[in-house]
Amino acid sequence: MPAEKQQVGSVWTRPRRGREQPALTREHIVTEAVALLDAEGMEALTMRQLGTRLNAGATSLYRHVANRDELIELVVDEVYGEIRVRAITDGADWRSAAEDCAESVRAMILRHPWMASTLGQVGLSYLGPNVMQLNDGLVGLFEVGGFPAQETGDAISALMSYVIGMGIAEAAWLAMLTRSGQTEQEFVAQLRPAAEAAAKDYPRFQQNDWDSDPTEVRDRKFRYGLVRILDGLEARRS
Residue 1 is predicted with a pLDDT of 47
Q: Is the pLDDT confidence value at 184 over 70? A: yes
Has residue 30 got a pLDDT over 90? yes
Q: Give CA–CA dist 80/116, Å, rounded.
A: 14
Is residue 58 located within the same domain as residue 144? no
The percentage of residues in the chain with a pLDDT greater than 70, rounded to a whole number, is: 89
Residue 207 in any domain: the answer is yes
Residues 134 and 102 in one domain: yes
Work out the average pLDDT over 15-34. 77
Using the predicted structure, report yes or no on whether residue 231 has a pLDDT greater than 60. Answer: yes
pLDDT for 10: 77
Residues 198 and 118 in one domain: yes
Domain assignment present for residue 216? The answer is yes
- Say yes or no: 108 and 58 in one domain: no
Residue 2 lies in a domain: no
- pLDDT (average), residues 65-82: 91
Count of Cβ atoms closer than 10 Å to residue 72 Cβ = 22
Decide if 64 contacts 111 (C-beta within 8 A): no
Q: How many domains would you assign to the chain?
A: 2
Kindly state the average pLDDT of the residues 141-157: 95
Indicate if 94 and 200 belong to the same structural domain.
yes
Confidence check: pLDDT of 17 > 90: no
User: Dihedral of CA 60/42/131/150: which sign?
Assistant: negative
pLDDT band at 151; cut points 50, 70, 90: very high
Assess whether pLDDT exceeds 80 at residue 6.
Answer: no
153/190 same-domain check:
yes
3: in domain: no
Rounded CA-CA distance 11/13 in Å is: 6
Residues 143 and 162 in one domain: yes
The answer to whether 66 and 121 are in contact (CB under 8 A) is no
pLDDT the model gives residue 211: 87
Residue 70 and residue 88 in one domain = no
Same domain, 69 and 151: no
pTM equals 0.84
Q: Is 172 within a domain?
A: yes
Sequence length of the chain is: 238
Each residue's pLDDT tens digit, 99-137: 999 999 999 999 998 887 787 556 556 788 999 999 999
Instruction: Read off the amino acid at residue 89.
Output: T
Q: Provide the CATH number for the domain around residue 213.
A: 1.10.357.10
Range of the domain at 63: 11-79
